[in-house]
Amino acid sequence: MSDNVLLTTTVGSFGKPEYLTKARGQAARRKLGATELEELERKATAEWIRRQEDIGLDVLVDGEMYRGDMVAYFAERLEGFKIGGLVRSYGNRYYHKPVIAGRVSRPKPMTVSWFEYAQSLTSKPVKGMLTGPYTLLDWSYNEAYPTRRDAVLALAEIVRDEARDLERAGAKYIQIDEPAIHARPEEIEIAIEAMGIVTAGLSAKTISHICYGDFAAIYPQVLDLPVDQLDLAMANYGYRWLDLFDRNPFTKELAIGIVDVHAHETETVEVAAAGIRRGLRYVSAEKLWPHPDCGLKTRTVEECVEKCVAVVEATKLVRKELAKVPA
Amino acid sequence: MKLTTTVIGAYPKIGDGLEAQELRRALHRHDRGEIGDADLGKVYDEVTRAAIGEIEAAGVDVTNDGQIRWDDLLSPFARAWSGVQPGPLERFYDNNTYFRQPVIDGRIETDGRSLVRDFSFAQGIAKTKLKAAIPGPLTFATLAARDEQYRSLDERVLAIADAARKEIAGLKAAGATMIDIEDPAVVASPKHIDLAREAYGHFADPDLALTLVTYFFPPDAVLESLASFPVAAIAIDVRSRDTTAFDRLDAFRTQQVLLGVVDARNTRLETADEVARYAERALKLVPQERLVLATTTSLEYLPRDVARKKLGVLVEGARLVSGEKVVA
């Protein structure tokens, strides 16, 4: 059994080091310039690439040190969007919810230089990270397009162009996250149509992360989402989505969340390994990718490292078990 | 005759300017142990005062307390009731807004005073009619992450309804005459409509104006059934999705209809004419004395400045209908 089974990865974001959080605050108050901030973002990115290598993750991410929110980041760089006022997501957490105020267009690539920088720091593959068109619409206010479908399809063309630029820059894995895909199950066909526009003609492996919502409401239709791999939060749900695969077999690669990202405590290696074993009942080791449930940006750097170590150690344990089983 | 207006649910807790973010700062300071519960409580009170003030300044006829202390719809009871704990985070229906799923780990008990302090405080501030609000039993029950106590959804819903009865009695004793029961699950999970109706029978009170508040989803699958709920009013959202409700509002023969006409989930600002046109459509089947214009849901899904503008449009639209009938 080689190390090419149960490839480990993460969903995209990591906790920002304190110096960067502070710098972002200063930049927001215009007490720090864009160049100085970017230098710190690059420093933090390099640190996270090194940490991921040290931990032993197989497919890396840039850690999104340069992003606050996965929709606002793109909205700030696209024409047609304006940045809205603060709205609450939970507790004392607020974000600037974007507003689609006009026809959207992409003046220039938005993530390519960060991908290139992160990839230049490691010989391991780094994923290109995008937010999908359905989520970009659903997490924005739409003042411009007559229907939600019109807006989603316009955004799909933008995400497609970004994905193609990432592929040209060498990305072997492109993740197009759609955490909002189950917001309105009656619109799943719009999300599928839009993803078809994004991934048409790409040769990179395509992945879509889905989390926190009623996955059962879109299964098995979501198997028609034109990506190679679905990346699902599972630990937070006690792995109950796996039961759905009994009736309708899962047909894609599965990146399986085996540690909860909303808890400060880290699961033991044994608990995390049990999650992988549950996934193996439905998906072969070649197609199963252990990872944390979701992006880790709400955790401290130390907690992120602990969670990732649990993923990697649990995977080693299960790989050993698999190696003992005669083929 | 004047067309009445009201708000639904929570009001934005902070605004965009630094001066409007006192609660956010206070919560951070509280988390760091720099201020205690009493100081945080004072800030909550001040923000409640400001929220009621903004709602009243817009000219809304019936206000609430803005639910400033609520983290989410279920949190006041998930925190206060014995036998319930706030559990894992989940998105609230089709919103990118989270709530804590209740975990039921014992028999649900309450003294019925979970919201009395907040209501009494708001009474001291509100100059207009003030209504209270509680989460509905079907919503509370269907959004629970786990239930180690009750053997079925039916048992759980009815146990929650019994606890709600105590809360309603507590609010009544404190002087409440109008209470919203926010229960979007009634339209989100229409298959449970009969169970929900049975639950409402547990706390029906002819001396109170209870409103069954639905939102996010159209009432189409259950509209006629809603008319048989033992409540004084039904709130429906006619903006979030397409609905046939406008052609069927005559199903409500005695109840008030709170029509959610101002979209509290999109920043696009309606015009007063647009609001008036929705009202005119409803008035074909509901007499003016039983029609109330409202926001579709909590204004907290919007930035505060937009929420304020939406209230202005709501009131202006209602006045257009009540007064000059200028609508084409």
Chain A contact set for B16 (CB, 8 A):
85-86
Domains parsed from chain A with CATH numbers: 18-74+111-324 (3.20.20.210)
A86 vs B16, B88, B91: nearest CB:
B16
Query: Looking at chain B, which residue has its C-alpha nearest residue A101?
Result: B268
Which tokens is A283 given?
A: 């998906």
The residues, ordered by sequence, that sit 6+ positions from B284 with a Cβ below 8 Å of its Cβ are none
Could you give the percent of chain B with pLDDT greater than 90? 95
**Is the Cβ pair B300, A212 closer than 8 Å?**
no
Residue B36 scores a pLDDT above 60: yes
Bridge pairing between strands A288-292 and A253-259? parallel
Rounded Cα gap, residues B215 and B300, in angstroms: 14
Query: Looking at chain A, which residue has its C-alpha nearest residue B28?
Result: A92
Residue A243 phi/psi, 5-degree rounding, is: -60, -30
Cis peptide before B303 (omega within 30 of 0): no
Query: Looking at chain A, which residue has its C-alpha nearest residue B269?
Result: A143
Residue from A87, A96, A240 to probe the interface with B (highest B Cβ count within 10 Å): A87
Question: A300 to chain B nearest CA, in Å?
Answer: 16
Contact B24, A87 (CB under 8 A): no
**Is the Cβ pair B89, A90 closer than 8 Å?**
yes
Q: Report the largest interatomic distance among the alpha carbons of chain B, rounded to a whole angstrom.
A: 59
Rounded Cα gap, residues A271 and A274, in angstroms: 5
Angle at B300 between CA B320 and CA B172, to 5 degrees: 80
Contact B268, B296 (CB under 8 A): no
Chain A contact set for B14 (CB, 8 A):
86, 88, 94
Give which of A313, A300, A316, A317 is closest to A267, Cα–Cα: A313
Chain B contact set for A142 (CB, 8 A):
266, 268
Chain A contact set for B94 (CB, 8 A):
138, 183-184
- Helices (H), ranges, chain B: 22-31, 37-57, 75-80, 116-123, 137-142, 153-173, 185-188, 193-203, 223-226, 272-283, 304-322
Using DSSP's 3-state secondary structure scheme, residue A262 falls into coil
Rounded Cα gap, residues B300 and B68, in angstroms: 10
Question: A322 to chain B nearest CA, in Å?
Answer: 33
Rounded Cα gap, residues B254 and A323, in angstroms: 72
* E strand or H helix that includes residue A24: helix A18-28
**Is the Cβ pair A212, B91 closer than 8 Å?**
yes
Query: Looking at chain A, which residue has its C-alpha nearest residue B25?
Result: A92
Side-chain half-sphere CA neighbours of B75 within 13 A: 17
The residues, ordered by sequence, that sit 6+ positions from A75 with a Cβ below 8 Å of its Cβ are A81, A83, A98, A136, A140
Mean of pLDDT values over B133-151: 97
Contact B182, B135 (CB under 8 A): yes
Question: B12 to chain A nearest CA, in Å?
Answer: 8
pLDDT tens across B199-249, in order? 999 999 999 999 999 999 999 999 999 999 999 999 999 999 999 999 999
pLDDT of residue B325: 47
**Is the Cβ pair B94, A184 closer than 8 Å?**
yes
**Is the Cβ pair B305, A84 closer than 8 Å?**
no
Going from the C-alpha of A207 to that of each of A191, A210, B67, the distances in angstroms are 14, 10, 40
Beta strands per DSSP E along B68-114: 82-91, 98-109
Rounded Cα gap, residues A285 and A327, in angstroms: 13
What is the rounded average pLDDT for all residues in chain B? 96
Please, what is the angle between helix A34-55 and helix A112-120, to 10°?
50
Which tokens is A123 given?
A: 């010989």
Side-chain half-sphere CA neighbours of B1 within 13 A: 9
Question: A314 to chain B nearest CA, in Å?
Answer: 23
pLDDT of residue A2: 53
Ranges of chain A with pLDDT below 50: 1
Going from the C-alpha of A180 to that of each of A77, A93, A200, the distances in angstroms are 21, 18, 21
**Is the Cβ pair B71, A183 closer than 8 Å?**
no
Going from the C-alpha of A208 to that of each of A127, B5, B121, the distances in angstroms are 12, 44, 48
pTM passes above 0.80: yes
Going from the C-alpha of A307 to that of each of A258, A260, A292, the distances in angstroms are 9, 8, 7
Residue from A86, A136, A149, A294 to probe the interface with B (highest B Cβ count within 10 Å): A86
Torsion of CA A167, A168, A169, A175, to 10 degrees: -10
Contact A259, A311 (CB under 8 A): yes
Rounded Cα gap, residues A152 and B160, in angstroms: 40
Chain B contact set for A94 (CB, 8 A):
14, 24
pLDDT of residue B326: 43
Using DSSP's 3-state secondary structure scheme, residue A257 falls into strand
pLDDT confidence bin for B18, thresholds 50/70/90: confident
Q: Which residues of B246-267 are buried (b: 16+ CB within 10 A; e: fewer)?
A: eeebebbeebbbbbbbbbbbbb
Residue B99 scores a pLDDT above 90: yes
Contact B303, A97 (CB under 8 A): yes
Residue B328 scores a pLDDT above 70: no
* Cβ neighbour number for residue B33 with a 10 Å cutoff: 7
Contact B6, B213 (CB under 8 A): no
Angle at B182 between CA B181 and CA B188, to 5 degrees: 130
- Taking the alpha carbons at both ends of chain B, their separation in whole angstroms is 19
pLDDT of residue A327: 56
**Is the Cβ pair B267, A88 closer than 8 Å?**
no
Give which of A13, A8, A262, A299 is closest to A131, Cα–Cα: A13
Instruction: Look at the block and give the residue holding tokens 């509002």.
Output: B249
Question: B255 to chain A nearest CA, in Å?
Answer: 30
- Helices (H), ranges, A129-286: 133-138, 148-168, 188-199, 244-247, 269-280
pLDDT tens across B154-204, in order? 999 999 999 999 999 999 999 999 999 999 999 999 999 999 999 999 999
Using DSSP's 3-state secondary structure scheme, residue A161 falls into helix
Domains parsed from chain B with CATH numbers: 4-322 (3.20.20.210)
Give which of B181, B236, B237 is closest to B209, Cα–Cα: B181
A143 vs B12, B24, B268: nearest CB:
B268
The DSSP symbol for A258 reads E
A238-241's contacts with Cβ under 8 Å and 24+ in sequence apart are: A239/A275, A239/A278, A239/A279, A241/A215, A241/A216
Residue B138 scores a pLDDT above 50: yes
Length of chain A: 327
pLDDT of residue B327: 42
